[in-house]
Amino acid sequence: MSVREAGAGSSAIPVRTRTAPPPSFTLNGTAVSLEGIDPHETLLELARGQGYTSVKEGCAEGDCGACTVAVRQTFARGSTYRAVVSCLTLAGQLSGVEAWTAEALSPAPLPDGTVEDLHPLQAAIADGGGTQCGYCTPGFAMSLFAAYYTAPRPGAAPEGDPAGEVLAGNLCRCTGYRALREAATALAGAGVGRSGDPFWERLARPMPPHPSVSVEGRDVIAFRPSTIDEAIQLKIAHPEARIVAGATDVGVEVSRGGRRFPAFIMLGAVDQLRDIGRDDTGLRIGAGVTIAELKVWVSPVTLPLVHRLLPWFGSRQIRNRATVGGNLMTASPVGDLSVAWLALDAKAVVQARTGTRTVPISRFFTGYRQTVVGPNELLMAVRVPPVVVPPGGRRVEWAHKVARRDRVDISTVVAAFTVTLNDRGVVTDARLAYGGVAPVPARAARAESALVGASWDADGTAAARAVLATEFAPIDDVRASVSYRARLVTNLFDRCVAETSAP
């Protein structure tokens, strides 16, 4: 039985109705039909097929940024340009998307190859020495483009590295980045409010709607439900379908691995999944909230642990697509946010057709790349309980990620700790979460128990540290040896104590 028959055969299931508009997206200002396009096809392939060969494949796994394009997205209030990696953006997700490539930034060159009117960011790259071989350059240009039209966030940490934030998702093997960093420093936000600039003025226009339109290839369909109920019904009717949020994980399988799926259920148009807010039971973060949106929302006050971890989460391009829910559902042993949720004692809100259940994150992962979410269920949100600190006490929230490279890398070991201290500096409650040391992100339960009642300093925590040293049995892999991982487990704890205990 083909997938299409399965969809059409179940009358209760909302497949694409014949009256729906044909799927399409906008590329450099021109509508491109998605009619009959295989939903596995990537935006990278589609753009190159349209002749926009500035969009380069460098790795097909979202790590090099050579295929970076800008998409206009509704973001916080209003619309902005966001840099995304087109190799991990699937045709099935594209309905209603407005995408831009480097070719659109300036008029076509004159016959002698010169261009009269380079975009300021193009001139900055070319004149500063920011391009050598040129293969990565259009991708850098589009990362800078998105930054150019985005106002820098007020209150962004001055000690941070804003230029690095813009560029970390783009690899250049030639230049050494100096000129590119200078361009990013000089130009981030410079296009905001620039009158007469067509790209700036376009942001004032209403966003094209995100139509709930399926994209249907020859033997595969990408459903695009617009409500949670629809999504769950589709999931029940199509157990073989791959559920896709941001596609930053499944996109790697498709783009690099050439993997094919019988069907997709794309969640991008389910607005109910994108809420974020606080109530008396704490904080509720919708599963469809992107990491970039979360990053805007959190601060050292609202969610210090997450705030500390997020700069290490992927690249800006990945954060613009990846979602809170996708990160949990992919159930990676090194899920960088998973350790935060574990340390914060967060709960997963899981919905079936029949109702909702709440599962602590500590019981969410059932095995390597497996979760408690059943075939008829959908992850809705993450709930973070409010923090209770005893009078006169304090709360330590600390996290660190160790990887081979500081940014845009997979954790060797990632740790997130929350420790509550009473007014005498004694631990009343501790959660020590680790990624990269077990098949799933996990807490050091015995060490946590041993910490309660200890004074929060090197001597006081020594016994718990000894327990911690026996808690996990990490493995050797491409990133690190057992020995290194084992030392990091205790050393990260030591470092936390050194940094947060009273001197």
Where in 461-500 is the site for another protein (CB under 8 A)?
Answer: 477-481, 484, 487-488, 491-492, 494-495, 498-499
Nearer to another protein, 186 or 372 (CB): 186
Where in 181-200 is the site for another protein (CB under 8 A)?
Answer: 181, 184
- Contact with another protein (CB under 8 A) among 224, 319, 407, 431: 407
Q: Residue 413 CB, nearest distance to another protein (Å)?
A: 9
Q: What are phi and psi of 81, to 5 degrees?
A: -90, 135
Q: Residue 438 CB, nearest distance to another protein (Å)?
A: 19
CA dist 436 and 76 (Å) reads 33
Q: Which residues contact 177 (CB under 8 A, 6 or more apart)?
A: 167
CA geometry: angle 245, 143, 82, nearest 5 deg: 40
Identify the residue whose tokens are 């033997």.
219
Q: Residue 200 CB, nearest distance to another protein (Å)?
A: 19
Nearer to another protein, 40 or 238 (CB): 40
Nearest to 78, CA basis, from 224, 172, 205, 165: 205
Nearer to another protein, 163 or 324 (CB): 163
- Percent helix, strand, coil in the chain (nearest 5)? 30, 20, 50
Sheet hosting strand 427-435, strand order edge to edge:
394-402, 413-421, 427-435, 442-443
According to the binding rule CB under 8 A, does residue 158 interact with another protein? no
What's CA 114's distance to the chain center, in Å?
38
Q: Residue 418 CB, nearest distance to another protein (Å)?
A: 19
Where in 78-97 is the site for another protein (CB under 8 A)?
Answer: none
Where in 95-124 is the site for another protein (CB under 8 A)?
Answer: 101-103, 105-106, 109, 113-115, 118, 122-123
According to the binding rule CB under 8 A, does residue 164 interact with another protein? yes
Phi-psi region of 258 (alpha: psi -120 to 50; beta: other; left: phi over 0): left
Are 141 and 121 a contacting pair, CB within 8 Å?
yes
Question: Which listed range, 52-60, 220-228, 290-298, 374-382, lies at the site for another protein (CB under 8 A)?
Answer: 52-60
The full length of the chain comes to 503
Q: Residue 49's CB: how many other CB atoms inside 10 A?
A: 12
Nearer to another protein, 137 or 320 (CB): 137
CA dist 180 and 175 (Å) reads 8
Nearer to another protein, 269 or 468 (CB): 468
Question: Which listed range, 19-27, 50-58, 233-241, 318-326, lies at the site for another protein (CB under 8 A)?
Answer: 50-58
According to the binding rule CB under 8 A, does residue 219 interact with another protein? no
> What token pair was written down for 104?
């659109």
CA dist 130 and 179 (Å) reads 5
Instruction: Name the pairing type of β-strands 79-85 and 242-244.
Output: unpaired
Nearer to another protein, 135 or 297 (CB): 135
Compute and round to an integer the Cα radius of gyration of the chain: 24
- Contact with another protein (CB under 8 A) among 189, 409, 452, 500: 409
Nearer to another protein, 66 or 222 (CB): 66
According to the binding rule CB under 8 A, does residue 450 interact with another protein? no
- Contact with another protein (CB under 8 A) among 176, 193, 209, 385: 176
CA dist 291 and 313 (Å) reads 8
Where in 124-153 is the site for another protein (CB under 8 A)?
Answer: 125-127, 129, 131-138, 141
Question: Which listed range, 270-278, 325-333, 382-390, 405-413, lies at the site for another protein (CB under 8 A)?
Answer: 405-413
- Contact with another protein (CB under 8 A) among 404, 449, 453, 463: 404
Within 61-151, strands assigned E span 68-74, 79-85, 98-100
Q: Residue 134 CB, nearest distance to another protein (Å)?
A: 3
Amino acid letter, residue 48: R
Nearer to another protein, 173 or 363 (CB): 173
According to the binding rule CB under 8 A, does residue 161 interact with another protein? yes
User: Between helices 178-187 and 120-128, what is the axis angle to 10°?
Assistant: 150
Nearer to another protein, 77 or 218 (CB): 218
Q: Residue 20 CB, nearest distance to another protein (Å)?
A: 28
Q: What is the DSSP string of 354-388?
A: TEEEEEEGGGTEEETTEES--TTEEEEEEEEPPP-
Nearer to another protein, 446 or 479 (CB): 479
Q: How many residues bind another protein (CB under 8 A)?
A: 85
